[in-house]
Amino acid sequence: MRALLTRLVVASLLILGVGFTFASVQPAYAEDPLDKICITNPDSATCKSRGTGTENPLTGKDGLLYKISTIVAGVAGVVAVIMILFSGFQMITSSGDAQKAAGAKRNLTGAIIGLIIIALAQTVILFVVGRL
């Protein structure tokens, strides 16, 4: 019980430490060098080739980074849920064997922590992509 409490405290401190690290990050504003040129000469071929859309195809809300992160998070989430189900099955079929039950409990704990990390990572990615 003491080891579990120690792990919980260490994990909480680690999460808080990482959270405060990201909370203190200041945004960086990038400037498109073509903006000044296109304001003075909007009919140039370079400005016309930029397109009319304001979304960046790489980092926009429907950009490549968003799509890839959504797919990866979805696959990882499905794997975590399968691991949770598998761990539950292992726990049920352990038949009172302490080692099997402990292994199933470790797998279940790892799968739940993984699912939480996946959800937090996806939230951070959506926040960052929304700000780009």
In total, how many domains does the chain have?
A: 1
Position 1 in a domain: no
Position 32 in a domain: no
Residue 78's alpha-carbon distances to 71, 100, 125, in angstroms, are: 11, 24, 19
Instruction: Report the predicted TM-score, pTM, of the whole model to 2 decimal places.
Output: 0.55
Position 78 in a domain: yes
d(CA 124, CA 37): 34
Position 114 in a domain: yes
Task: Show the domain range for 89.
Answer: 56-131
Structure confidence at residue 22 as a pLDDT band (50, 70, 90):
low
Residue 59's alpha-carbon distances to 11, 29, 80, 100, in angstroms, are: 32, 14, 27, 46
Task: For 86-132, write each residue's pLDDT tens digit.
Answer: 999 999 998 888 999 999 999 999 999 999 999 999 888 888 877 76
Contact status, residue 42 vs residue 36, Cβ threshold 8 Å:
no
3-state secondary structure of 95: coil
Task: For 47-80, write each residue's pLDDT tens digit.
Answer: 766 655 555 666 666 778 888 888 999 999 999 9
* Packed helices 64-92 and 98-131: angle between N→C axes, nearest 10 degrees: 160
Position 19 in a domain: no
CB proximity list for 52: less than 8 A, separation 6 or greater: none
